[in-house]
Structure 1
Amino acid sequence: MDVRRNEKKAYLKYMVYMIAVFFNVPDSPTVYAVQTLWSVKEGTFTNLTCFVDSNPRTIVRWKKLDGPLPIKGRESNWSFLLTKVSRSDTGIYQCQADNGVGPADSATISLDVLCKNNSNPPTIQKTFDEKVNVLFGKSDFSLECKAEGNPKPHIRWRRTNTNLYFNNPLSFSRSDYQTEGEYECVAESVGFSATVKRTVVDVIGRPAILGGPDTLRTSQGSSLTLLCEVNADPLPESITWSWRSINGQEVVLSGNTFSGLDLTRRTTDMGADGILVIDPVSTSNAGEYTCTAQNMFGTDSRGFNVLVEGPPVFVIAVVTGVLVVSIFLTVVAGICIARKWGCVCCKMKTGKYQNHL
């Protein structure tokens, strides 16, 4: 990233330099290093490079601040070339430019030679176990990873099977069940593959019920389901439900407290779920329902405020429609019967009249 940034700066300065050359504007030199620290293995080729912005153009002079320049090295424009670096080449190199306009300028580059006999891959020390238990709610939890190697390793943490990295030591302001999981200490050194050590952070403690108090609206005759999601380690010994009616009556619920009530429990990866179902719901079921989970470390609770309204609109419409149709059919039937009897009476009366005549 630094190299790309410096290359962009070099390009911009080069364009300024070319403009200055085109207009022949004298300018004192500005010198900076592409990379201030070079780490290379012994016996390999290296190219120490500086960029210079000046008008008129000038060459770069190289020197070694902590000793003489290596005889085997060669200056080439703005670079100092070393075909096969050795341990004695380690040190601080300076590139200096002076074009006679204004003050001279310089930049330094540190060369770190990794000796074949002394370099070694990073080794992670055993400062933590493969599994670490942390108490739920503990503040300022940290886990430090130590590693040795030449060159000195860069140490980070990451969550296993992700690209989510953390600084070393691994620390959390407060431990909860979302903290729980598998983490890896990653130690990296230039020229070597990364060394990884894995550990599991296991959070134990009282139950923690997800979510907060809820207000639920339902209709009379429908089905109601309340879900109580419990994270806990160890698993909750019990998940109980209580109900306070709109009249203030409080009862602990069981399967036969009232008609249509069903209480179940299921185990999950993070703990257990408590499930309450009422089918069908009536207006008498309105009130506040509370789920409480308990294990050896403590308890946690969550409330559900249930409001039960009248029958759904479509039910009222259907019932009303049925009543209207029923009344209509009754009236029609009554009219038909009345007409039928009226006709009979007319015939009877006509018959009698004729007989009388």
Structure 2
Amino acid sequence: MATLRALGLRWALIFLWRIAPLASGASYRVRPQPTAVLHGQTAVLRCAFDQISDKEVVIWGGPPNQLVISTGSNVLPVYGRHRVVGDTARGEFNLEIRDTKLEDDGKYTCYTDPMAAAGAILTVVVPMPNPPSISGGELTLTAGEQLSLTCRSSGGHPAPRLTWLNGTDPFQSSSVSSDEDKTLELFIPRLTKWDDGTNFTCLADQGFPELAKPKGTSRILRVKYPPLVQVPSPSVHVREGEPASLSCMVDSNPKAEVTWRKVGEALPSLKIIRDHLLQLPKVSRTDGGLYQCEANNGVPPVGLGSVTLQVYYPPVIEATMEDKVTMLYGRDDPSVQCIADGNPKPHIRWRRKDTSLYWDNPLRFHRVRYDVQGTYQCVAASDGFQEVTKDVFIDVVGKPSIQSDASAVEAAEGSTARLHCEILGDPLPGRVTWSWRNKQGVENIVMATDVGLSIIEKPVDDGTSSTLLLKDVGIAQEGTYICQASNMFGEARREIRLEVLGSDQSVVALSVSVLMAVLVLVAALCVCWAVRTRRICRKKRKETPALSPTRSMPPIPKSVKRLGHGTNDSGVEDLELQELDGTLKPRPPPRGDKQWASVGLSYSGLAHATTLPPYTTVERHRPDGEDIRSRGGIPEESVLSSDEYISIEAPTPPPKIQRGRWKTRGTPGGASVRNSLHEAENALNEIQQADSI
């Protein structure tokens, strides 16, 4: 019965609202606002008007279907938990709902004019009884597989919104809604090692955190993946004798087992293995090489890492290298190879011991001679280490090799001729023989027992020397002398031509020199005569005493002295003799204050042979360091008698003499020379006498 009354009242109010004047002067001071209330608690929807008149009625409508709940301050009886509160005199008509229920959830409107009604949503919040659930991914997956996770929520009002989080960041979301259940799926087509340990969280949020806090469920993803090996130091460098540590860093799930091996060889016996570390307390040169670490956790493929160990050690020359190498004399392009080991790779060179002469390796000889015999050193040098050497003696064997000071020797007639040859060979020849081939081509063996002949042999470095001395040589001894030696490998010969310089040749050469000196003197006298005609030299001519027919020859001008001859070249300094074309002559004393016309007066006895120093022939080279004068083998020049100073025939042009090592300093037969000087002095006297007339 009461219900029917309430319905009747509602319809009456509607009728009155419809027939009420359309014009209204009321305006909203407070409009209804959306409001959320926890289930079972009280909710208040605020609404207030300004300038409301007594004729205007405030109406609240609400769910379901916007039915009228109250008019003015009167609430329909069917809404026992509703009431209008506030100061109606001031236009306040707030709707209060006690012990809210889910049917109270919906839209509420407050108005005096239906055309300008203001409404608000009242949400009755019923928290979720449990957090959402996740299905899928319970087992550990392997990299490369796919992942599918499903999140479900149940209960609660309003229905929660589901979100997938990767840690704290949103991952992806898609939902399928129903009245009772909410679901959201997560799908990854291919897992990687980076997905291992990912925290996937499904979060359920009802939108009113102050009334119902969001709830979430997490799942940590476990992904198995094969070992990944990283090598911090791919190449390790260490000196021999120092410790070394090789390392491999392994990333895998599950944890991998690490094993070490050396490529092509066994691991060193002295080692310490600690998981990913291989320690060698004291490395040797044999420990160098390529090492590999292998990681295996059951998930293919197996992980591999490589480390190269470089062991530096000083150079070492191969011990099998011989200390002595024998080479055959005369062989072309032989070589000696030196092999050395070291790290870094040594630079190998050769040098002659105790010298700074270096050659590349292998040591090559263009042609083997006896002078290459000796000790050579193989030198191996590496950066950071001291160089090492090994001595190798090069022993040259073969037939003898004969060397001579000259292929031709000149000797003055009557002097001692010296012929020398040096013999090298291994083995040394038993004896050295000399033979002589005369100008007719007849060859005879020279014996040390021959008269006027001696053979001197003495050892030298790596050989022997033989010297043939011919005393008081003459033209008959001219020819070719042959030095011969032989051993088991063969025979060697050396020819030395001997040329004997006779007295005629010496006289001719001296005569030419004297004539040149006379010509120079005559030219000087002509110049003085020209000066006298100008009355400059007249007074001096009266003071000059008459020249005796026995005046000596003026000194030879220096301009006629040939360079390369005389005692200065041989290292012997003789102050009383001067050389004229190879012949020693007396040197005049200083002129002092004497006039030019009186030159030679101090040698007035030049015609007497007993006043001259003896003429000698001095050899320039002393054989074997011996002073020739001490042997008594140099004959003195015989004293000339006064009969030899008669005349001299016109000399023939001197032959061109090739002078070798053995030069003559003078020749016997000085009579012709003195006659030439005497004739030159007579010519000088005649010129001066004619000048005084």
1:166-202 residue CA offsets vs partner (Å, 9 max, x unmatched): 1011111211111111001111111100011111000
1:272 aligns with 2:464: yes
Q: Which amino acid in 2 is paired with 1:242?
A: S
Q: Which amino acid in 2 is paired with 1:150?
A: N
The answer (yes or no) to whether the contact 2:404–2:420 under 8 Å persists in 1 is no
The residue aligned with 1:324 is: 642
The residue aligned with 2:425 is: 232
Q: Which amino acid in 1 is paired with 2:418?
A: T
The residue aligned with 2:374 is: 181
The answer (yes or no) to whether the contact 2:327–2:394 under 8 Å persists in 1 is yes
Considering only CA atoms, is the larger Rg found in Structure 1 or Structure 2?
Answer: 2
CA 1:326–1:202 in 2, change beyond 3 Å: closer, same or farther? same
- Count of equivalent residues: 217
The residue aligned with 1:125 is: 318
The residue aligned with 2:112 is: none
Q: Tell me how far 1:127 sits from its aligned partner.
A: 4.0
1:282 aligns with 2:474: yes
* Higher RCO (Cα < 8 Å, 6 or more apart): 1
CA 1:162–1:146 in 2, change beyond 3 Å: closer, same or farther? same
The answer (yes or no) to whether the contact 1:124–1:147 under 8 Å persists in 2 is yes
The residue aligned with 2:398 is: 205
Q: What SS class does the counterpart of residue 140 from structure 1 fall into?
A: coil
The residue aligned with 2:332 is: 139
CA 1:212–1:262 in 2, change beyond 3 Å: closer, same or farther? closer
Q: Where in structure 1 are there 5+ consecutive unaligned residues?
A: 1-39, 44-113, 329-357
1:239-275 residue CA offsets vs partner (Å, 9 max, x unmatched): 1000112233321010233x31001211111211111
1:88-136 residue CA offsets vs partner (Å, 9 max, x unmatched): xxxxxxxxxxxxxxxxxxxxxxxxxx97x81110111024211111111
Q: Which amino acid in 2 is paired with 1:308?
A: V
Worse-superposed segment, 193-202 or 312-321: 312-321
- Alpha-carbon distance between aligned partners in 1 of 2:341 and 2:431, rounded to the nearest angstrom: 48
- Alpha-carbon distance between aligned partners in 2 of 1:319 and 1:152, rounded to the nearest angstrom: 76
The answer (yes or no) to whether the contact 2:238–2:312 under 8 Å persists in 1 is no
- Alpha-carbon distance between aligned partners in 2 of 1:316 and 1:273, rounded to the nearest angstrom: 29
The answer (yes or no) to whether the contact 1:213–1:303 under 8 Å persists in 2 is no
Q: Which amino acid in 2 is paired with 1:190?
A: D
Q: Tell me how far 1:326 sits from its aligned partner.
A: 7.7
The answer (yes or no) to whether the contact 2:376–2:393 under 8 Å persists in 1 is yes
Q: Which amino acid in 2 is paired with 1:260?
A: G
- Alpha-carbon distance between aligned partners in 2 of 1:301 and 1:212, rounded to the nearest angstrom: 14
Q: What SS class does the counterpart of residue 448 from structure 2 fall into?
A: coil
Q: Tell me how far 1:213 sits from its aligned partner.
A: 6.7
The answer (yes or no) to whether the contact 2:402–2:492 under 8 Å persists in 1 is yes
Q: What SS class does the counterpart of residue 640 from structure 2 fall into?
A: helix
Q: Where in structure 2 are there 5+ consecutive unaligned residues?
A: 1-235, 240-307, 508-582, 584-614, 618-635, 647-693
CA 1:121–1:298 in 2, change beyond 3 Å: closer, same or farther? same
Q: Which amino acid in 1 is paired with 2:377?
A: E
Task: Note the 1:45-124 alignment, pairs <5 A.
Answer: 118-124=311-317
Percent sequence identity is 37
Q: Which amino acid in 1 is paired with 2:452?
A: G
CA 1:237–1:319 in 2, change beyond 3 Å: closer, same or farther? closer
Q: Give the alignment partner of residue 411 of structure 2, picking from 194, 197, 218.
A: 218
1:135-158 residue CA offsets vs partner (Å, 9 max, x unmatched): 111122111111111111111111
Greater strand fraction, Structure 1 or Structure 2: 1
The residue aligned with 1:74 is: none
Worse-superposed segment, 317-326 or 283-292: 317-326
The answer (yes or no) to whether the contact 1:127–1:145 under 8 Å persists in 2 is no
Q: What SS class does the counterpart of residue 641 from structure 2 fall into?
A: helix
Q: Give the alignment partner of residue 306 of structure 1, picking from 477, 491, 498.
A: 498
1:188-237 residue CA offsets vs partner (Å, 9 max, x unmatched): 11110001111100000100012487122211111111111111111111
The residue aligned with 2:102 is: none
Q: Give the alignment partner of residue 292 of structure 1, picking from 484, 487, 494.
A: 484
The residue aligned with 1:89 is: none
Worse-superposed segment, 203-212 or 227-236: 203-212
1:261 aligns with 2:579: no
- Alpha-carbon distance between aligned partners in 1 of 2:411 and 2:443, rounded to the nearest angstrom: 21
The answer (yes or no) to whether the contact 2:424–2:462 under 8 Å persists in 1 is yes
TM-score by length of 1: 0.56
Q: Which amino acid in 1 is paired with 2:470?
A: I
The answer (yes or no) to whether the contact 1:127–1:144 under 8 Å persists in 2 is no
CA 1:200–1:319 in 2, change beyond 3 Å: closer, same or farther? closer
Q: Which amino acid in 2 is paired with 1:163?
A: S
1:290-349 residue CA offsets vs partner (Å, 9 max, x unmatched): 001111111111111111121465559996971227889xxxxxxxxxxxxxxxxxxxxx
TM-score by length of 2: 0.29
The residue aligned with 1:168 is: 361
The answer (yes or no) to whether the contact 1:238–1:295 under 8 Å persists in 2 is no
The residue aligned with 2:434 is: 241
Q: Which amino acid in 2 is paired with 1:167?
A: D
1:29-87 residue CA offsets vs partner (Å, 9 max, x unmatched): xxxxxxxxxxx9769xxxxxxxxxxxxxxxxxxxxxxxxxxxxxxxxxxxxxxxxxxxx
Q: Which amino acid in 1 is paired with 2:422?
A: E
CA 1:141–1:214 in 2, change beyond 3 Å: closer, same or farther? same
The residue aligned with 1:193 is: 386
